[in-house]
């Protein structure tokens, strides 16, 4: 297991979600990260709740709840101007599930460029299915991201996630491919899920997406990263492709007052909060 502990901050940048609710969800995510995720992915992590973005220490990776994410490419994973990861989560009825998703993917691949080679997805059509090897982007919740495959921790709905066996070359008796056991074979994608991969011979990227049982192969081409991580580029592409379904961009449905008063911000925390808000405005 990693000797360094990753520090994740769950924080609401809105009046729509109270600090009490943030704390309750953060406790569930901490338990999920420690009890369920760490033994399977060898990651040490803490998940802590903060009342404001200004309160978040500079060495924490923020998962920021907002109710004004109007662009399909805004929700999800990003990096700040210093290359440090943060995530934006749309405030709606299922925001704890999305926060779990983003937290686990951040822990597995903080900088959004981790890849693992393997056989093509079994659902891939020809000629992609004929490739001897492809390179997968490690996104631990995407293949099983539907709420249908979620589970609860402390009564909070959290995301299912794949295990490292997901990248095995062959199906093995007794192997666990996702925490809930919903995935039953390597590289499989469940309904409402997707997986991203490239042809390593030419760095051409593709994506298998399943929607209501229908398998679609999306041709992402050769990605123009412009300094962004692989995950950030692909994340934005998914949001754009699924914008007609308002993918993670639903209108806010919660209207609870924030439960913590703003007091005595540290200058360093305020500077970072201001910088993050400027990055968000540019998305």
Judge whether residue 247 has pLDDT over 90: no
pLDDT score for 275: 85
pTM of structure = 0.85
Question: Are 262 and 55 within 8 A, CB to CB?
Answer: no
Q: Residue 253 pLDDT > 70, yes or no? A: no
Strands 61-66 and 44-50: unpaired
pLDDT for the residue numbered 226: 83
The model's pLDDT over 60-91, given as tens digits with 9 standing for 90+, comes to: 999 999 987 766 557 788 888 888 999 999 99
Of 99, 63, 87, 76, whose CA–CA distance to 249 is shortest? 76
Quote the tokens at residue 176: 């666990």
Task: Give percent above pLDDT 90 in the chain.
Answer: 72
| Phi, psi of 194, rounded to the nearest 5 degrees | -160, 165
Residue 244: the pLDDT is 65
Which sign does the torsion angle of CA 90, 247, 102, 34 carry? Answer: positive
pLDDT band with cut points at 50, 70 and 90 for residue 252: very low
Whether the pLDDT of residue 215 is over 90: the answer is yes
């Amino acid at each position: 297991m990693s000797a360094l502990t990753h520090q994740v901050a769950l924080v609401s940048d809105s009046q729509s979600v109270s600090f009490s609710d943030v704390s309750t969800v953060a406790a569930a995510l901490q338990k999920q990260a420690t009890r369920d995720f760490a033994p399977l992915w060898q990651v040490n992590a803490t998940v802590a709740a903060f009342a404001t973005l200004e309160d978040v220490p500079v060495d924490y990776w923020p998962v920021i709840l907002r109710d004004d994410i109007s662009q399909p490419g805004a929700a999800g994973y990003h990096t700040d101007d210093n290359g440090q990861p943060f995530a934006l989560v749309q405030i709606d009825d299922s925001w704890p599930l999305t926060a779990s998703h983003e937290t686990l993917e951040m822990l597995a691949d903080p900088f959004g460029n981790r890849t693992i080679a393997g056989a093509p997805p079994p659902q891939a059509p020809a000629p992609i299915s004929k490739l001897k090897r492809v390179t997968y982007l490690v996104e631990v919740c995407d293949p099983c991201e539907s709420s249908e495959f979620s589970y609860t921790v402390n009564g909070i709905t959290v995301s299912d996630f794949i295990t490292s066996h997901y990248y095995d070359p062959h199906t093995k008796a007794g192997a666990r491919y996702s925490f809930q056991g919903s995935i039953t074979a390597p590289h499989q994608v469940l309904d409402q899920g997707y997986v991203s991969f490239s042809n390593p011979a030419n760095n051409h990227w593709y994506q298998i997406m399943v929607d209501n049982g229908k398998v679609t192969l999306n041709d992402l081409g050769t990605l123009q990263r412009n300094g962004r991580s692989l995950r950030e580029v692909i994340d934005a592409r998914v949001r754009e492709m699924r914008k007609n379904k308002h993918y993670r961009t639903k209108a806010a449905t919660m209207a609870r007052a924030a439960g913590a008063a703003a007091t005595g911000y540290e200058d360093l925390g305020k500077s970072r909060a201001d910088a993050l808000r400027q990055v968000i405005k540019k998305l």
